[in-house]
Amino acid sequence: MTRADARVLIVGIGGIGCPAAMALARAGVGTIGLCDDDEVQLTNLHRQILFSQEDVGRSKVDVAAKRLRVLDGGVHVRPHSRRLLPDSAMDLVRDYDLVLEGADNFATKFLAADACRLAGVPIVHASAVRWVGTVLAVGPRGRPCYRCLFENVPTDGAPGCALAGVLGPVPGIVAATQADLALSILDGNFVDGQLVTFDGCTDTMRRRTVPARADCDLCGTRPLIRHIEQQAYLTPPA
């Protein structure tokens, strides 16, 4: 598959999704899907670089789609002005060759991981909180997967970016790394299980490959997750 033929879905058009989308468009990816149900807020502008002050209150997906088309007239942008939800996640990810996940909540991250594994679609996860960023590439075989590393939706109220905050440049560095791994997958390179972490306090980046867990509920030898169950993402398991 060439980059021009590739269809890539970006889940979460925020501090990570905006620069990642720009990088993919510049790199010649033919079709980019944008999935988000949020509107631009003033507090987004220091890190969500597709938006400006005049966009406050407007749909992130609509604004981002317009800016990407201006950035690269050859890119086909498919807006999905909705949240990734259990009842439609499988149908949505199946329509793409690759998913980039940069959501700001754990339920969506695990839902994207599960849907892509079950649909056989590769996914690159990314997150940024305070000074720290993490990126994980999961290949089309889905092993190792996101749950090999993080296991399950946290029940202790672990704060995401919205509550804990994030240093403005960190999402951009994370997005560049996410786009790099995504393009490697599209180009046919083997990056399954590559985990990249960035610490903005020490300006340190580490890259290593994580192993699959035999007892993983999603991709292990006896997986327990065989289909999407809505309750698993609406209410974190106790």
pLDDT in tens, 168-198: 899 999 999 999 999 999 999 999 999 999 9
Phi, psi at residue 206, to the nearest 5°? Answer: -125, 140
HSE at residue 100, side-chain half, CA atoms within 13 A, is: 37
The total domain count for the chain is 1
**Which residue in 190, 112, 124 sits closest to 153, CA to CA?**
112
pLDDT tens per residue across span 39-80:
999 999 999 999 999 999 999 999 999 999 999 889 999 999
Tokens of 77: 């942008």
For residues 113 and 138, the answer to whether their CB atoms sit within 8 Å is yes
Total residues found in the chain within this entry: 238
d(CA 158, CA 154): 7
Residue span of the structural domain in which 34 resides: 3-234
pLDDT tens per residue across span 122-139:
999 999 999 999 999 999
Q: What is the mean pLDDT of the chain?
A: 93
* CATH number, domain containing residue 98: 3.40.50.720
Rounded (10°) angle between helices 17-26 and 60-71:
30
Widest CA span of the chain, in angstroms? 51
DSSP 151-174: -S--SS----HHHH-B-THHHHHH
pLDDT at 159 over 60: no
Reported pTM: 0.94
Tokens of 117: 């594994």
